[in-house]
Structure 1
Amino acid sequence: MEAIAPAYGAATLMIIAALAVALLLVLIMKVKLHAFVALVLVSVVTAVAAGIPVGDVPDALIYGFADTIGSVALLVGFGVMIGRLLEVTGGAQVLADTLINRFGEKRAPLALGVAALLFGFPIFFDAGLMVFLPIILTVARRFGGSLLLYGLPAAGAFAAMHALVPPHPGPVAAAEALDADIGLTLLVGVPVAVLAWYVGVVLVARVLGKRIHVDIPEALFGEINDGRDDVAPGSGAGGTTTTQKAPAFTTVLGLLLLPLVLISFNTVLATLVTAGTIEEGATWSESLMLLGDTTVALLVTTLAAIFVLGRGQRSMADVSTILDKALGPICSIILITGAGGMFGGVLELSGIGEALSTSLSDLGISLILQAFLISTLLRVAQGSATVALTTASGLLAPAAAAASLGDLQLVLLVMAIAAGATVLSHVNDSGFWLVSRFFGMDEKTTLKTWTVMETTLGVSVFVISAAVWAVV
């Protein structure tokens, strides 16, 4: 669905957006209305108030909902299946024990984050978080304390890589729009992402984890496994539970590396096709890219996990029961995440973000600060980091071309746009709801933790980019 011409000026649209967010928070936090119902209700009210024609309101609602849930539902579904099999077979415990033995208790959160940085190179934020979640929870249960100490470094690592580093779609699209070199964007993006992650995520997570206690969820994918199977192998409904030998560390690592390798086919080959290195439409590359599609890669990994972990001492009926139990608890999470995408979609179609960013571009401020502020406004207005990246880079492309910037300056402009697209994750961002629900946090706590951490991450990226900009 195409964006609708704004019915009001930028100031009026901004007021409508602010009132919509305020109404949503009141309904959820004060009235205690269920988040899914509140998001849909406020989306309808906002669409009408923003001047979207009444006949187009249903399509506007479905636009954001379908786009979000179409990808999130599949990724979350396969992710929790893999996670539950890792949990009930002891695979997550094996990996957690190995990390702890190698890095020690005090450095366990840092180890989780470093592992997430490596896995986050080709894997999207939501898919990476789903696969890593049982490992995060296992380590957190082992040592206790606030879940934030263990969850934020890993989640923040996936967020940093997703926003800053090619071949993720946001930075690639921004680099293309600004005519920046993708290879140089990768070379600059990695160290900027790592440094900003450490300053804006790891250090901040330590402070937040000490000040705010978040209980470790006890029934995320089902009941906690204590070394016993959910369903006894071959026992049937009334059988007794037996203990299964935990898988080897190499087996668990191989399963985690499988989606990493498969998704790399898609992301790396897509980048090479875009750069003209590989001919577009080649059968061999298209086939590998299909295997590397995030959904297909997680499907393949789920099948591998069923065969490697589930079939050893279980019947297929028992494995299916385990997977079925894993899917039940996530229905609410998927619907709420989709409704968050609906709200963001309504704000996007109303033209709020574009009206604000167009107004800002005429203020005559420095180009790199302009890039950060425009991207921030787009992020706040419609929620999606990728949309903010692509839209802001398109708006800034003429100015960047007119300024005759060097290669490094163009890349720094991409970094500044990515920084703005990262900050202030809130209720119109599907990632906000994923973190909120899977970390077992209410909306107020999520705003005080996840939103703060995303903001410190984005600000850290901008400060680094602006500092380099000032000396080149």
Structure 2
Amino acid sequence: MPLLVVGISVLVLLLLMTRLKLNGFAALLLVAVGVALVRGIPVADIPDVLSEGIGGQIGDTMLTIGLGAMVGRVLGDSGAAQRIAGRLLAAFGPRWVQVAMVVTAMLIGVTMFYEVAFVIIVPIAFTLVRVTGAKLLWVGLPMSIALSTMHSFLPPHPGPTAVASTFHTSVGHTLCYGLFIAVPIGALVALAWPRLPFIKVMNPAVPRGLVGEGEFTDEEMPGLGWSLFVALFPVVLIAGAAVTDMATSGERPFLHVVAFIGSPPIALLLTLSLATWAFGPRIGRGMADVSASCTSAAQAMAMILLVIGAGGAFKNVLVEGGISDYIKDATDTWTISPIVLAWLIAVILRVALGSATVAVVAASGVVLPILAGSGIHPEIMVLAVSCGSIACSHVNDPGFWLFKEYFNLTVIEAIKVRTTYTTVLAILGLGGVLALERTLDVLHL
């Protein structure tokens, strides 16, 4: 019966979000209330259960996600992101344009959300297509694949950050471990996919009217040194703190300072402060313009934060309603690896719900009881759920339509390209997670 409730709730959620076009926040709350009633949670307690779920989820993730969005927007609006992309493309040359796009996307995509980084870099891809005569997918597809990998696999992006919060594990450790999986897998798929026969036969034209006129001139963009320094600053702080934590022990004062500076909210706050000055007064840009960039980023992130909060409410209802415990008890006798099970749950929710953020947050509530007593590193379970959440992007995924329109594809072509590459990324990601867990066990980490 509990699994039937989960199945029906997912179907209802799918109906609300796809057929009735209800936004994810309202849909998740409605389904959460329905599940709470069916599972016998007292009516008087339901508001508190929802509030606790929303508060716990938002409280842990709002700072990281909000600050990350602001940093990304300041980089984009100042021309720093375009400077990084343009210089890399010039350095690599037309022959290695795909490698240049992958490197650019990975550098920018570490701290920037898929949609924001995509819109910033895609005009550079269009320019390269015109200059070199290469096919649009040959140049642009590696960029999209690399961005998808960074966004779905790694914190401080919303999905992995939310799962790390749910599992009460280190975001820094998750980022450090995740880079070992995301970089090689993302690069491999990004460089291989445009070479597949069913991709090479597609030759869409550069679409008209989708690229804004706000391209920066060389004089308007900040220098490459400052652009790279600011873009990589939070990664260095977060990853550095994780490495220090793993390599040292004890209660020395400097370790507390490193941990403080390397915590994602503080690292991103320091980065935002640095970016505000470096791409504001330092280059003659008014503080009002920089503040407007931050405000726009916050407005754009509002619905994502609401969806994450509602996902937390749904998760809390599953826990309080005993569904998560039932799934844990039911799967205790399975011979399947907890890592594979966590990945599979995320895949199922991703296929049903479309939104990777909704899927990954909802999956974390189901997986949480499985983690306890499994002996699996919590960071590995975060990566397993995150990898599963990228699978099977299709027509109920907003990113699918962004990809389709910018690459001027038909729906069927977009399914052939995007649905397949996201699924392969998820499968390879699972293999990488299993290999990483085995390596950590061998090294006794």
Q: Please, what TM-score do these two structures have when normalized by structure 1?
A: 0.65
CA contact (8 A) 1:383 1:425 kept: no
SS of the aligned residue for 1:396 comes to coil
Instruction: State the distance in 2 between where 1:118 and 1:86 align.
Output: 12
Indicate the residue corresponding to 2:261 in structure 1. 291
Indicate the residue corresponding to 1:141 in structure 2. 123
Q: In the alignment, which of 272, 285, 294 is matched to residue 314 of structure 1? A: 285
Indicate the residue corresponding to 1:324 in structure 2. 295
Aligned CA distance change for structure 1 residues 334 and 394 (closer, same or farther; 3 Å) = closer
CA contact (8 A) 2:57 2:162 kept: no
Instruction: State the distance in 1 between where 2:234 and 2:116 align.
Output: 16
CA contact (8 A) 2:153 2:182 kept: yes
Indicate the residue corresponding to 2:425 in structure 1. 457
State the 1:30 CA deviation.
1.2
Indicate the residue corresponding to 1:305 in structure 2. 275
Instruction: State the distance in 2 between where 1:61 and 1:110 align.
Output: 46
State the 1:140 CA deviation.
1.1
Task: Find out whether 1:370 has 2:337 as its counterpart.
Answer: yes
State the 1:259 CA deviation.
0.9
Instruction: State the distance in 2 between where 1:301 and 1:414 align.
Output: 24
CA contact (8 A) 1:82 1:301 kept: yes
Aligned length: 394
SS of the aligned residue for 1:314 comes to coil
Aligned CA distance change for structure 1 residues 465 and 113 (closer, same or farther; 3 Å) = same
Q: Letter of the aligned partner of 2:28 in structure 1? A: L
Instruction: State the distance in 2 between where 1:447 and 1:40 align.
Output: 30
Q: Letter of the aligned partner of 2:254 in structure 1? A: W
CA contact (8 A) 2:328 2:369 kept: no
Q: Letter of the aligned partner of 1:251 in structure 2? A: W
CA contact (8 A) 2:340 2:430 kept: no
Q: Letter of the aligned partner of 2:78 in structure 1? A: T
Task: Find out whether 1:97 has 2:79 as its counterpart.
Answer: no
Indicate the residue corresponding to 2:360 in structure 1. 383
Indicate the residue corresponding to 2:306 in structure 1. 335
SS of the aligned residue for 1:254 comes to helix
CA contact (8 A) 1:310 1:319 kept: yes
Instruction: State the distance in 1 between where 2:149 and 2:259 align.
Output: 27
Percent identity, please. Answer: 24
Q: Deviations over 1:183-241 (max 9, x none)?
A: xxx89x7665555445566646887988899989969xxx763338xxxxxxxxxxxxx
Matches within 5 A, 1:403-422: 418-419=383-384, 422=387
Task: Find out whether 1:76 has 2:65 as its counterpart.
Answer: yes
CA contact (8 A) 2:105 2:117 kept: no
Indicate the residue corresponding to 2:353 in structure 1. none
Q: In the alignment, which of 51, 60, 65 is matched to residue 62 of structure 1? A: 51
Instruction: State the distance in 2 between where 1:351 and 1:107 align.
Output: 54
CA contact (8 A) 2:66 2:298 kept: yes
Q: In the alignment, which of 233, 236, 244 is matched to residue 269 of structure 1? A: 244
Indicate the residue corresponding to 2:146 in structure 1. 153
Q: Letter of the aligned partner of 1:360 in structure 2? A: T
Name the structure where helix makes up a greater proportion of residues: 2
Aligned CA distance change for structure 1 residues 415 and 309 (closer, same or farther; 3 Å) = closer
Indicate the residue corresponding to 2:8 in structure 1. 19
Indicate the residue corresponding to 1:231 in structure 2. none
Instruction: State the distance in 2 between where 1:291 and 1:450 align.
Output: 38
State the 1:463 CA deviation.
4.7
Matches within 5 A, 1:177-216: 193-198=182-187, 203=192
Indicate the residue corresponding to 1:358 in structure 2. 329
Q: Letter of the aligned partner of 1:262 in structure 2? A: L
State the 1:96 CA deviation.
1.0
CA contact (8 A) 2:33 2:46 kept: yes
State the 1:393 CA deviation.
4.4
State the 1:156 CA deviation.
0.8
CA contact (8 A) 2:388 2:430 kept: no
Instruction: State the distance in 2 between where 1:456 and 1:61 align.
Output: 35
State the 1:246 CA deviation.
1.6
Q: Letter of the aligned partner of 1:457 in structure 2? A: L
Q: CA RMSD in A?
A: 4.9
SS of the aligned residue for 1:32 comes to coil
CA contact (8 A) 2:98 2:142 kept: yes
Where structure 1 has 5 or more consecutive residues not aligned to the other structure, the ranges are: 1-11, 177-181, 229-242, 398-409
SS of the aligned residue for 2:388 comes to coil
Indicate the residue corresponding to 2:216 in structure 1. 227
Q: In the alignment, which of 21, 31, 35 is matched to residue 32 of structure 1? A: 21
Indicate the residue corresponding to 1:279 in structure 2. 250
CA contact (8 A) 1:74 1:295 kept: yes
Instruction: State the distance in 2 between where 1:309 and 1:426 align.
Output: 37
Where structure 2 has 5 or more consecutive residues not aligned to the other structure, the ranges are: 127-135, 350-358, 406-410
Instruction: State the distance in 1 between where 2:249 and 2:230 align.
Output: 29
State the 1:137 CA deviation.
2.5
Indicate the residue corresponding to 1:129 in structure 2. 112
CA contact (8 A) 1:149 1:209 kept: no
Q: Letter of the aligned partner of 2:323 in structure 1? A: I
Q: Please, what TM-score do these two structures have when normalized by structure 2?
A: 0.69
Indicate the residue corresponding to 1:401 in structure 2. none
State the 1:415 CA deviation.
6.3
State the 1:101 CA deviation.
1.8
Instruction: State the distance in 1 between where 2:340 and 2:307 align.
Output: 29
